[in-house]
Amino acid sequence: MNVHLNAADVSTRTRAIVAGCKHLEGPLLPILHEIQHEFGFVSQEAVPVIASELNLSRAEVHGVVTFYHDFRDHPAGRHVLKLCRAEACQSMGGEALAERAKKLLGIDWHQTTMDGAVTLEPVFCLGLCSCAPSAMLDGAVHGRVAASDLDDLIAEARQ
């Protein structure tokens, strides 16, 4: 992921992504997903480009970007650790696990460690409610996460 982007580069690559999705009905969400995949976040520079390509106002695009929890306005850490905060995971000690993660990483929800290694995010349900508590590290799922498993996941992410 390249976080040192110049505006011209963002504009060119954003245009290419929009062109690839324009044939879809309701293309904005697929475009935003691709942009985030490409850049790691949806930058302020990308918004007016998308707006002009789709003939929308900047406000409309901004409204959509900020409505959805998934879209970031700045890059995440090298790894993203998501911990489930929903009821099934609560029933199996999810809250204590989250507190442990915050303490180990020295950050709160939505924050990134000083070394840029890990971003911690809450998630409301990974559909792994029968093997709670659950977590997702960079897209890989983990169930029945015990305190020691969490320590291992964090150590892995910090490397």
Partner 1 sequence: MTVRIFIPRDAAALALGAENVAMAIAQEIAARGLDATIVRNGSRGMHWLEPLVEVETDGGRIAYGPVKKGDVASLFDAGFANGGEHPLCRGKTDEIPFLRQQTRLTFARCGVTDPLSLSDYRAHDGLRGLQNAIAMDPAAIVAQVTESGLRGRGGAGFPTGIKWKTVLEAAADRKYIVCNADEGDSGTFADRMIMEGDPFVLIEGMAIAGVATGATKGYVYTRSEYPHAIAVMEQAIEIARANGVLGPSVLGSKHAFDMEVRTGAGAYVCGEETALLNSLEGKRGLVRAKPPLPAHKGLFDCPTVINNVISLASVPIVMDKGAAFYRDFGVGRSRGTIPIQIAGNVKHGGLYEAAFGLSLGEIVDGIGGGTASGRPVKAVQVGGPLGAYFPRALFDTPFDYEAFAAKDGLIGHAGIVVFDDSVDMLHQARFAMEFCAVESCGKCTPCRIGSTRGVETADRIAQGIEPEKNRELLADLCNTMKYGSLCALGGFTPYPVLSAMNHFPEDFSPATVVQAAE
Closest to 112 measured CA to CA, from 44, 26, 38, 41: 41
Residue 131 is labelled as binding a ligand: no
Residue 21 is labelled as binding a ligand: no
**Residue number with CB closer to partner 1 (26 or 106):** 26
Residue 84 is labelled as binding a ligand: yes
* Minimum separation from the CB atom of position 13 to partner 1 (A): 20
* Minimum separation from the CB atom of position 132 to partner 1 (A): 6
* Minimum separation from the CB atom of position 152 to partner 1 (A): 13
- Residues lying near partner 1 in the complex (CB under 8 A) are found at 25-30, 32-33, 60, 63-64, 67-71, 84, 86-92, 123-132, 134, 136, 139-144
Report how far apart, in Å, the C-alpha atoms of 35 and of each of 27, 42, 89, 111 are: 12, 6, 31, 21
Annotated binding-site ranges for [2Fe-2S] cluster: 84, 89, 125, 129
Known binding-site residues equal 84, 89, 125, 129
